[in-house]
Amino acid sequence: MSYNIERDRNKLIAAYNTFIETNEVDESQLSESFLDIRNFVKTAYERYSKLSNKEYDIDLNLGLDLFDYLNSRSEFTQTIECDDDFWRNVAIYAIPDVIAKRHKTMNSAYYYSKNLRTYPSAIYWYINLSWQGNREDTYNILKNNSTDEIMQMVERPSTIGINLELNRKIMKKFSELPLDKKVIMVNGKPKKVFRLIFLKNTAKLATTRPEIYPGGVDGYVNMLFEDYL
């Protein structure tokens, strides 16, 4: 089985507009792979939206489930994982109604117009960039975060690619910070440490790499957090 991915942007936008007008998903038009995704996500979303009315709780649990589910599928390869058109297809053809319920808006950014904000991609990559080897450990390091951390984490394109090990260690280290150390005052204004860490990382990557830093990736992560411990 493989994903039949629509890449014509005009057709994607037309399908998105059709959903806005009709508010209906024509499941008969979905390939088996995308129909499976739709059924899985719909069921998971309904379950989590009943358990909690907090948007972050829904995103976190849905993201964990989606990560598990997609990585169990043989057709879901590393190249599909990074394919923006795949995520647009999921958002527009498979789960546009789920996105509409979750975000209570038809803002095109969550469907196709902003690659990194496409909803299924955002929650998937939030988990992928935080993954600790299993669902339970990953949940535990992420449970105290918010939708702000999702945005800060995934909406940060890098022209030199992503080091997954580095991101996952940053997330683990961040989860170990006491709550009262996750926001600091800078010039009298509260600043989120999570964002400051990633800004520092971007600045440091101009002149070094975690792999060559003293102590390797662990030493590099400790350096990123040294001002905030």
Partner 1 sequence: MKKIFNYFPILSDELMDDVFPNIEYSFFYEREKNNEESIDFDDSIGQNITLDTKHNDWNHADYDLKVKTEIHIDDASRLYGSYGIAPKESIIGMGIEYYSQKSRTREVEIFDNPIDDDEESWVYSLEHIIEKGSFISDVDISTFIFLQNSAKHVDQYSKHLNNEEGIILGTLDHRRLFLIGTGSLFPIFVENLEKDDRLWIFDIDYDNPELDKFSDCSKLILNSNHRDYKLINPREKCYCERLVLEIICNSLFMVFTKLKEEGYLEDIKSTYEDGSIMSLVSYYKDTLNVNFTSAKTIFDSLQDYSNKEYKNVI
Interacting residues with partner 1 between 113 and 132 (CB under 8 A): 125
Other residues' Cβ atoms within 10 Å of the Cβ of residue 205: 15
Question: Is residue 77 involved in binding partner 1 (CB under 8 A)?
Answer: yes
**143-166 b/e (C-beta count within 10 Å ≥ 16 → b):** eebeeebbebbbebeeeeeebeeb
For residue 211, state whether it binds partner 1 (rule: CB under 8 A): yes
Torsion, Cα 22 28 30 33, to 10 degrees, reads: 140
Six-digit token string for 13? 């936008």
Minimum separation from the CB atom of position 121 to partner 1 (A): 11
Stretch that binds partner 1, among 102-110, 156-164, 174-182, 192-200 (CB under 8 A): 156-164
Distant-in-sequence, close-in-space partners of 191: CB < 8 Å, separation ≥ 6: 183, 184, 185
Looking at residue 95, the DSSP 8-state letter turns out to be S
Least distance to partner 1, CB of residue 220, Å: 8
Is 97 one of the binding residues for partner 1 (CB under 8 A)?
A: no
76 belongs to the binding site for partner 1 (CB under 8 A)? no
User: Minimum Å distance from CB 166 to partner 1?
Assistant: 9
Q: Which amino acid is at 155?
A: E
Per CB under 8 A, the list member of 157, 178, 188, 190 interacting with partner 1 is 157
Binding site for partner 1 (CB under 8 A): 7-8, 77-79, 81-83, 125, 157-163, 206-214
